[in-house]
Amino acid sequence: MAASRQRAPRRAGAKLSSERVDGSKGGGEEALHAIFQSACRGGKGRQGPGDDCARIVPPRGRALLWTTDQVALGVHARRDATPEQLAVKLLRRSLSDLAAAGAKPWAASWTIAAPRRTPFAVLERLAHAFLAEARDFDLPVVGGDASCAGALVLSCSLLGLEARGGTPGRAGARAGDLLCVTGRLGGAVSSGRHLRPEPRLAEGRRLAERYDAHAMMDLSDGLAKDLPRLLARSGVGAALDLDALPRALELPAGARGLASAVGEGEDYELLVALAPKQAERALRDSVLKQCGFTVIGSVRARRGLRCRLDGKPAAMPVGGWEHAWGAKRR
């Protein structure tokens, strides 16, 4: 990772060692824990870190949503990404999963796995950046862990409070629903926006609580990959109008721009199925209008995805992002 070029991390107040993460010295982990402990403000019903477990007491009658996500250097970000970019992306992409559930962020825990050669200053920067970002979202970090490992991998678990009226999930889309997306799609990786995605928390809660979203998910692997996942979970099909997709403004017109909008991935926008009357209301919602809210198709009882482009039947141009194992190194 590059060790320069970024703003100075906000300090959490702990006095820190400058020694490296080195098993023979053994001091790095404690110094990291000190950062976590000094930064935790907890909050009603949330205690930690510093004990073996965090203690969580959810408000009476509210379900908790729980999601886990990770950022692996060289997979989710280029190898020259800064520690701050990695930590910020980790938290924000995890928050996007809560947004997709319509949930309110409530508590976080996270882990750092890093090679032994990693300078301790890099781990400090990861910790400070993650904690500062969590603070900006008013999210207590109640626990964490650090370990030496073969590669730099960050992980994060978030708890969220369920939206009033419940969690839409991916399985509730019904024939006749309209499919809508927030924001614009495509260009997130090539532009670098994927390093600081905007979790659509307010929009997700609104869609769950005010517009009775039948199904909702965030688009992380590209519409071409994620829409079929939602349809399969719901046991339905869809008609998709590729001409209606709200493409990122910098994308070229034509096939290349379309391929980016459906297949580049890392958009972290919401895909939602709404009853037509609710969609009509949602299209007039000022908060949704501000980030952009567009009808892109409709749900059909018959399985399969039918696309139209230039007013004619068309195939989905690309397949979206997929993790693959067992491939030979090139």
| Interface with Mg ion (CB under 5 A) | 97, 218
Minimum Å gap between C-beta 227 and Mg ion is 13
124: CB partners within 8 A, 6+ apart: 9, 16, 31, 32, 35
Minimum Å gap between C-beta 9 and Mg ion is 28
- The whole-angstrom separation of Cα 30 and Cα 196 is 29
Q: Which is nearer to Mg ion, 218 or 267 (by Cβ)?
A: 218
Q: Which is nearer to Mg ion, 128 or 200 (by Cβ)?
A: 200
- The whole-angstrom separation of Cα 65 and Cα 202 is 16
Query: What 3-state DSSP class applies to 220?
Result: coil
Minimum Å gap between C-beta 107 and Mg ion is 19
Q: Which is nearer to Mg ion, 94 or 118 (by Cβ)?
A: 94
CB neighbour class for 102 (10 Å; exposed up to 12, middle 13-18, buried from 19): buried
Q: Which is nearer to Mg ion, 68 or 290 (by Cβ)?
A: 68
Minimum Å gap between C-beta 2 and Mg ion is 29
- The whole-angstrom separation of Cα 67 and Cα 200 is 16
87: CB partners within 8 A, 6+ apart: 125, 126, 127, 129, 130, 133, 154
Short-list 35, 226, 42, 241, CA closest to 144: 35
Cβ pair 189, 211 in contact under 8 A: no
**Residue keyed to tokens 């250097």:** 73
Q: Which is nearer to Mg ion, 54 or 88 (by Cβ)?
A: 88
Q: Which is nearer to Mg ion, 48 or 199 (by Cβ)?
A: 199
Minimum Å gap between C-beta 323 and Mg ion is 14
Q: Which is nearer to Mg ion, 124 or 218 (by Cβ)?
A: 218
Minimum Å gap between C-beta 11 and Mg ion is 32
Cβ pair 72, 155 in contact under 8 A: no
**Residue keyed to tokens 């501000």:** 290
Minimum Å gap between C-beta 219 and Mg ion is 8
